[in-house]
């Protein structure tokens, strides 16, 4: 009970601190157009339609938009220097196979999950109106909180899925591609997808305070998942500014090695349990090799 109370006090204190700092910031000039667009949407569609179809359309748009650069990079010679596994390139045939599996997962697994979240927002009277919409900095704070929750769930369940007794039945499908690429982030056995995405749902249920938060959290989680599977380590990646962010090299090694680096977003669980030891040894080895070739 004491621990639970301490966590609640910490979250409340953090929220108040961010709220105070945010109140000192100037007004967003785009606020009025966003407000008009949001109210127009609510006037023309039901809450269920906004949450279900709006979220699904957003999911598809973000997924395709952020997967596209990684697909195009393979045709740009200049980008090869940023590719992590330079000698491994998946064929267009395999990428087409990946796209077909992903399409099934999107319509048959993720769309029903989004429908369930729509019922959640209505059953618990989650607000939709503009007047109670949180400020952008509060949404970012809650996104970070969701990322911590999802990352914790992902680490332990992902590690379990790598257990030798069950790996070949479920998670092995996701590892068909040793060198990952953006869209491969959601290439998985349906049960694999359900198990790991429970962390996404759990985080949303615990921290949701407005319907728009589903869109913000969905976008953040998708961009992160695509980035760590991109297969490219692009300089000046803004996601690398997030404290303890794992990044593409961290997860790329997991696909190359099949062991260790189980976390989805942050590095701390792998550090605590020592499941990044092989990655650290490999990184040091590569640094020494680079110095010798200079």
pTM: 0.89
User: Rounded to whole angstroms, how far apart are CA atoms 219 and 223?
Assistant: 6
pLDDT score for 2: 45
pLDDT score for 31: 79
Domain ranges of the chain: 46-293
- The residues near 148 (Cβ < 8 Å, ≥ 6 apart) are 266
pLDDT score for 25: 52
pLDDT score for 290: 75
pLDDT score for 28: 62
All residue ranges of the chain with pLDDT < 50 are: 1-4, 7, 20, 24
Burial-class residue 145 by CB neighbours within 10 Å (0-12, 13-18, 19+).
middle
pLDDT score for 89: 80
Intra-chain end-to-end CA distance of the chain, in Å: 57
pLDDT score for 12: 58
pLDDT tens-digit series, residues 163-193: 999 999 999 999 998 899 999 999 999 999 9
């Amino acid at each position: 009970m004491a621990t639970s109370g301490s966590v609640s006090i910490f979250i409340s204190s953090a929220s108040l601190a961010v709220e105070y700092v945010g109140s000192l910031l100037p007004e967003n000039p785009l606020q009025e157009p966003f407000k008009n667009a949001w109210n127009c949407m609510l006037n023309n569609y039901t809450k269920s339609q906004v949450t279900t179809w709006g979220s699904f359309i957003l999911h598809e748009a973000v997924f395709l938009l952020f997967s596209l650069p990684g697909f195009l990079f393979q045709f740009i010679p200049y980008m090869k220097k940023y590719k992590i596994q330079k000698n491994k390139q998946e064929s267009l045939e395999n990428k087409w196979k990946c796209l077909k599996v992903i399409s099934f997962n999107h319509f048959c697994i993720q769309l029903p999950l989004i429908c369930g979240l729509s019922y959640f927002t209505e059953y618990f009277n989650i607000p939709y109106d503009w007047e109670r919409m949180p400020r952008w900095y509060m949404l970012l704070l809650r996104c970070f909180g969701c990322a911590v929750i999802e990352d914790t769930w992902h680490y332990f369940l992902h590690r379990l899925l790598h257990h030798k007794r069950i790996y070949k039945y479920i998670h092995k499908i996701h590892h068909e591609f040793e060198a990952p690429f953006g869209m491969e982030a959601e290439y998985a056995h349906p049960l694999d997808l359900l198990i790991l995405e429970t962390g996404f749902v759990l985080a949303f249920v615990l921290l949701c305070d407005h319907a728009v938060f589903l869109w913000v959290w969905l976008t953040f989680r998708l961009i992160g998942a695509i980035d760590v599977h991109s297969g490219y380590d692009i300089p000046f990646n803004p996601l690398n500014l997030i404290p303890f962010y794992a990044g593409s090299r961290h997860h790329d090694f997991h696909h190359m090695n099949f062991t260790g680096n189980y976390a989805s977003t942050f590095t701390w669980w792998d550090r605590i349990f020592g499941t990044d030891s092989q990655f650290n040894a490999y990184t040091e080895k590569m640094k020494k090799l680079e110095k010798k070739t200079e």
